[in-house]
């Protein structure tokens, strides 16, 4: 993979053109490189017997799930030589959040992953500056966080991919352009206390509020969390800005020293007054734009399970574009959005053919031939498989993608959801795609009643017979003056109905035969989903990677929500508890 950070715009455009025009050749060359390099590994040797032929790869190598290859990963993590799976040394183990699809996974990795990460960032620098004029004139207030590192029994560091990148030389020696210029000193990103780090990120961003051109967090859920911290701490932030000194509870020494330098002991009473007068306004609609008036866009992943946060972000950010740049995982960087200013519902990602070798299993029945990236068809849906330079071969990622178009010859994919069934009571099998469809329709019903969806999750309740689907919803009034929210039965009944109506024929068959009971909406208190996130983070999930589970399986998580239920509505009968 070439290093393109020093290229000028014209050269970077050429790289993008080449990448997207020569998909087949680049993918075939990459597969050849992977197989030639790794043919002697124990894993490949057992299927390919030293060959690096594509034909043999397609014929002999099994398509696997994470569970199938976990024993190999465990051996490397426990101290055996990397060449069980990879010719290049495995230097790191990533822990994937797993919150969107089950248990946490541990995945082998090495610098090749970061090459892909840095490469896609460098392309994004070019793409975004092409679309967002003037973005290079200021800084980014980017809420990057590191979190704790542990070690495998064999001594390999275990952390999230984002953490590793921030601690690596790639970040330390990053190119000096607008994309890598931040309001926060590196120490704020590298600290290990999330509460302190988020507070300091905000403080640095407020002090330099006129320089902020973009605001970002990896996932939309992280951005919503930032806004909550702002709501809880703006008075204290203002007092720090007024005095020029940082609150005593910021004890992380690296972070404390670096932020104290930003404040410089200089009192800023005028700035503090301005921020105070904005934050004390009754309505926080558009607050981000008011506090950071030069901001050109908000950067966060808003597709898949993150789509539920779009109404909340639109509320606080007003008409600022929401830019969802990257589709990636702990397994690999997959693709980037080459049209960053498109509407949320039009977001697609162009897979980068030089980062990993991609294959696709068609979702449509009757077509089970695995196809290459260059052979996917417009309008068809696929499950993604990955083969890469750091020990993964034909592994299912668990995501479903639909081809929506092409950038030159490179297919663009819409993220449809995780492939696994989420909810199932009888022979019904409801996956994320259907759940999102149902939720989109319910969101419209809520909006027509002046309510805004804050967060949701689902649960298959089989404690009574027949079992039924439960949808937990946290909602707010669009008009923030309304604190004493009344839950209109008609609205929620309508939500139940449109949701059930969105599920597939099998679900409806089960419902009409009473194999599945009426869908239930349980409305939960303000802040319940924050408590759920805190629970997950307390168990070691990185805050950067946390995703609200679209289906909740953990008993403790269900308990958190259950203690906060304030109203219940069923498709056929309505049983409100009381109103907030």
Check residue 460 for interaction with ligand AMP (CB under 6 A): no
Check residue 416 for interaction with ligand AMP (CB under 6 A): no
- The single residue among 106, 189, 301, 567 that binds ligand AMP, judged by CB under 6 A, is 301
Nearest residue (CB) to ligand AMP, 94 versus 507: 94
- The single residue among 27, 217, 329, 387 that binds ligand AMP, judged by CB under 6 A, is 329
CB 411 within 8 A of CB 351: yes
User: How many C-beta atoms surround the C-beta of residue 228 within 10 A?
Assistant: 13
Check residue 383 for interaction with ligand AMP (CB under 6 A): no
Size of the residue set binding ligand AMP (CB under 6 A): 16
Nearest residue (CB) to ligand AMP, 103 versus 261: 103
CB 284 within 8 A of CB 266: no
CB 413, min distance to ligand AMP, A:
10
Of 160, 151, 94, nearest to 543 by C-alpha is: 160
Check residue 419 for interaction with ligand AMP (CB under 6 A): no
Of 362, 454, 349, nearest to 124 by C-alpha is: 349
Check residue 415 for interaction with ligand AMP (CB under 6 A): yes
CB 471 within 8 A of CB 461: no
Question: Which residue of this chain has its Cβ atom nearest to ligand AMP in the complex?
Answer: 304
* H runs (alpha helix) in 110-154: 111-131
- The single residue among 22, 221, 314, 330 that binds ligand AMP, judged by CB under 6 A, is 330
CA pair distance 305, 319, nearest whole angstrom: 22
* H runs (alpha helix) in 269-361: 269-279, 287-291, 310-317
The dihedral of CA 509, 511, 516, 522: what is its sign? positive
Nearest residue (CB) to ligand AMP, 205 versus 411: 411
Check residue 121 for interaction with ligand AMP (CB under 6 A): no
Nearest residue (CB) to ligand AMP, 73 versus 327: 327
- Give me 458's structure tokens: 């689902």
Check residue 304 for interaction with ligand AMP (CB under 6 A): yes
Please give the sequence-ordered ranges of beta strands (E in DSSP) within 478-564, or none if there are none.
520-524
Question: Segment 519-548, which members bind ligand AMP (CB under 6 A)?
Answer: 545
Question: Is residue 167 exposed (0-12), middle (13-18) or buried (19+ Cβ within 10 Å)?
Answer: middle
Question: Segment 89-108, which members bind ligand AMP (CB under 6 A)?
Answer: 96-97, 100
Check residue 182 for interaction with ligand AMP (CB under 6 A): no
Check residue 328 for interaction with ligand AMP (CB under 6 A): yes
Nearest residue (CB) to ligand AMP, 120 versus 233: 120
Phi and psi at 371, nearest 5°, equal: -115, 160
CB 422, min distance to ligand AMP, A:
13
CA pair distance 515, 428, nearest whole angstrom: 9
Residues lying near ligand AMP in the complex (CB under 6 A) = 96-97, 100, 301, 303-304, 324, 327-330, 397, 399, 415, 418, 545
């Amino acid at each position: 993979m070439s290093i393109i950070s020093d290229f000028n715009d014209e050269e970077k455009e050429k790289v993008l053109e080449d990448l997207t025009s020569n998909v087949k050749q680049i993918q075939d060359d990459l597969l050849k490189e992977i197989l030639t390099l790794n043919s002697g590994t124990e894993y490949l040797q057992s299927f390919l017997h030293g060959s690096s032929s594509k034909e043999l790869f397609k014929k002999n190598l099994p398509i696997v799930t994470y569970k199938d290859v976990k024993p190999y990963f465990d051996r490397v993590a426990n101290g055996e030589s990397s060449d069980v799976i990879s010719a290049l040394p495995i230097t790191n183990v990533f822990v994937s959040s797993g919150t969107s699809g089950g248990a946490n996974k541990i995945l082998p990795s090495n610098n090749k992953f970061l090459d892909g990460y840095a490469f896609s960032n460098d392309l994004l620098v070019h793409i975004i500056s092409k679309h967002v004029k003037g973005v290079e004139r200021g800084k980014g207030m980017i809420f990057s966080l590191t979190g704790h590192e542990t070690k495998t029994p064999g001594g390999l560091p275990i952390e999230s991919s984002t953490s590793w990148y921030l601690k690596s030389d790639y970040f330390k020696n990053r190119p000096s352009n607008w994309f890598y210029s931040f309001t926060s000193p590196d120490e704020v990103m590298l600290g290990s206390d999330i509460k302190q780090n988020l507070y300091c990120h905000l403080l640095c961003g407020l002090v330099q509020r006129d320089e902020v051109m973009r605001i970002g967090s990896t996932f939309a859920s992280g951005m919503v969390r930032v806004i909550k911290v702002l709501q809880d701490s703006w008075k204290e932030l203002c007092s720090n800005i007024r005095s020029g000194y940082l609150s005593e509870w910021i004890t992380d020494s690296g972070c404390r020293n670096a932020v104290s330098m930003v404040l410089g002991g200089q009192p800023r009473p005028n700035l503090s007054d301005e921020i105070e007068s904005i934050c004390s306004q009754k309505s926080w609609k558009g607050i981000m734009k008011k506090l950071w008036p030069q901001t050109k866009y908000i950067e966060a992943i808003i597709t898949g399970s993150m789509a539920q946060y779009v109404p909340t972000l639109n509320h606080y950010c007003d008409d600022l574009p929401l830019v969802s740049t990257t589709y990636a995982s702990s397994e690999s960087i997959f693709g980037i959005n080459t049209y960053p200013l498109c509407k949320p519902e039009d977001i697609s990602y162009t897979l980068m053919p030089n980062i990993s070798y991609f294959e696709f299993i068609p979702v449509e029945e009757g077509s089970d031939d695995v196809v290459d990236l260059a052979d996917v068809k417009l309008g068809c849906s696929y499950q993604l498989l990955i083969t890469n330079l750091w020990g993964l071969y034909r592994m299912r990622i668990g995501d479903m993608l639909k081809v929506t178009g092409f950038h030159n010859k490179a297919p663009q994919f819409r993220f449809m959801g995780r492939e696994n069934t989420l909810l199932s009571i009888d022979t019904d099998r409801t996956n994320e795609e259907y759940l999102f469809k149902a939720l989109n329709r319910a969101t419209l019903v809520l909006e027509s009643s002046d309510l805004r969806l804050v967060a949701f999750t689902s649960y298959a309740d089989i404690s009574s017979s027949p079992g039924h689907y439960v949808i937990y919803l946290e909602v707010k009034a669009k008009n923030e003056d309304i604190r004493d929210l009344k839950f209109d039965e008609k609205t929620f009944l309508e939500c139940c109905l449109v949701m059930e109506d969105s599920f597939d024929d099998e679900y409806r068959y089960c419902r009409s035969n009473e194999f599945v009971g009426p869908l239930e909406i349980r409305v939960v208190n303000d802040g319940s989903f924050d408590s759920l996130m805190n629970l997950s983070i307390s168990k070691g999930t990185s805050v950067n990677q946390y995703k609200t589970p679209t289906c909740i399986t953990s008993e403790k998580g269900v308990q958190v929500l259950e203690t906060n239920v304030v109203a219940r509505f069923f498709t056929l009968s309505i049983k409100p508890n009381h109103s907030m």
